[in-house]
Amino acid sequence: MASGSKTRGSSRLLTVAVSDVPVKQSLEKQPVTASEIKRVSLASGHTTSDADAEEFLNEVYEFLCKVEQGKVEHKAWRHFRGDEEVLYEREDGKVSFGGPKKKFLKFIRKPEAGCCPVS
């Protein structure tokens, strides 16, 4: 490994350290034990201040699929910039989607264009 600095006139140039380890080798996955694996948590509002990220994102996806498939009724929410907005909320209140009604209706009417399998 080489590094250092040189002076040229009144400016100082810095040379960056160059490793002897090939880049490909340094990017390869190293073995990890189960005790070294840490779960990622997320906070996305008042009810999810420390949720397991993978589990919560799966819950969000499942609820979105139910919305897309028309299995969840919307509630009138508000009017914003001339658009009627609706709210789709899971029973426990931990997951909800809100926005323009016309966008949700378009999303629901075309499930083949969406992200969830049609059941």
Render 5-42 in DSSP notation, one character per residue: EEEETTEEEEEEEE-SS-HHHHHSPPP--GGG----EE
The separation between the first and the last C-alpha atoms of the chain, rounded to the nearest angstrom, is 59
pTM value? Answer: 0.61
- Residue-wise pLDDT for 74-95, tens only, equals 999 999 999 999 999 999 988 9
- Residue-wise pLDDT for 20-44, tens only, equals 555 555 566 677 777 777 888 888 8
Question: Is a pLDDT exceeding 50 seen at residue 5?
Answer: no
pLDDT at 7: 47
pLDDT at 2: 46
pLDDT at 20: 55
